[in-house]
Amino acid sequence: MKIRDAFTFDDVLLEPAHSIVLPANTNISTRLTQKISLNVPLMSAAMDTVTEHRLAIAMAQMGGIGVVHKNFTIEEQAMQIAMVKKFEAGMVVNPLTIAPDEPLRYALNMMEQNQISGIPVVENNQLLVGILTNRDVRFATDLSQSVAGLMTRDVVTVRNRAAPDEARRLLHENRIEKLVVVNDAGAGIGVITVKDMEKAQNHPLASKDDLGRLLVAAATGAGSDGVRRAEELINAGADVIVVDTAHGHSQGVLESVAAVRKLANHVQIIGGNIATSEGAKALIDVGADAVKVGIGPGSICTTRMVAGVGVPQLTAIMDAAEACHAQKIPVIADGGNKYSEGLAEAIPGGGEVAMIGSLVGGPGEAEGGGCVVRGSG
């Protein structure tokens, strides 16, 4: 058996040299997959103490992306994805609507369950006839009263081809919080809100899809259950499916990546984890749009201790990058980033994106975040 030299982040340092670039002037945008770019090369890990909808939202707002963990039922994980996609949208497409003859009770239930403050009122063929907002129902007491008797009939609308500046002007001039988007036939096809415009203005680097919604990834496993989970996550709006396993260079994982690839062409697939160039090539061959590298370097990963397998992380990244970059496939460096040192070495080592867990496990947005205050009693 031949033993070669291999290196992890603690084994090397970056040699400083003359620089003419100021940190504030650097561009750290990168590719997550072949079709998705990020303004910040960071991805939060699919750990149940780290990434649920709150951190996924925060990561996307800052220009990265979060991977919602799979320690949920399928329905619960799909709901987490939907919460991210609904949090911020350039335009809410196909919004919830209500008919004018529905009772107020039904409208209030819709607003409470979906945490919305207004509902477009439509008749046949989605023809817009009004809008019902919190302002219309604030002092209403008869829950059996029809929506038609309470709704605002003079609705401010905008055409679906209008520029964002036009929508912003209408919202401001009319002192309203919701602007209904209509097509040429007068049918309601979307809603633009003040809150979404404010969020977009406050987070200019946010990672978004073509509809202005935040990007989000979701983890699934191998096998038929993992493929079924992936299908539901795609239906919920996930932009990226991460087939997340301890040994990505196994036949079952390769078959699962291939099966998920067939579910939808528009969704990007990340396969992993692997630690060799051969593993990277195998995942690429079955349709992975990016490859996740790292077996055992994570702070809570026990693979090396239990099974005695793995490759020191920096060498694993460099080996996988050689295979991936030959086919223009991005590499995600997963694990070993206990300090920012790991990030600084993972990227020049060949990674396009670094996946982090413990580094973002403390903030309040993370599921394991916050602190416990011990009282004196």
Asked if residues 313 and 333 have their Cβ atoms less than 8 Å apart, the reply is yes
- pLDDT score at 299: 63
From 179, 197, 215, the end of a domain falls on: 197
Domain-located, residue 21: no
Domain-located, residue 243: yes
Task: Count CB atoms within 10 A of the CB of residue 334.
Answer: 34
The whole domain housing 150 covers 92-197
- pLDDT score at 372: 43
Do 116 and 76 reside in the same domain of the chain? Answer: no
Do 84 and 96 reside in the same domain of the chain? Answer: no
Domain-located, residue 373: no
Per-residue pLDDT of the chain (377 residues), as tens digits, is 788 899 999 899 999 999 998 988 899 999 999 899 999 999 999 998 899 999 999 999 999 999 999 999 999 999 999 999 988 877 787 889 999 999 999 999 999 988 888 999 999 878 999 999 999 999 999 999 999 999 999 999 998 878 878 888 999 999 998 899 998 888 888 898 888 888 888 999 999 998 889 999 999 999 999 999 999 999 999 999 999 999 999 999 999 999 999 999 899 999 999 999 999 999 999 999 999 999 977 666 777 767 778 899 999 999 999 999 999 999 999 988 878 888 999 999 999 999 999 888 777 777 765 544 444 33
- pLDDT score at 89: 75
Asked if residues 32 and 353 have their Cβ atoms less than 8 Å apart, the reply is yes
From 135, 162, 197, the end of a domain falls on: 197
Do 131 and 37 reside in the same domain of the chain? Answer: no
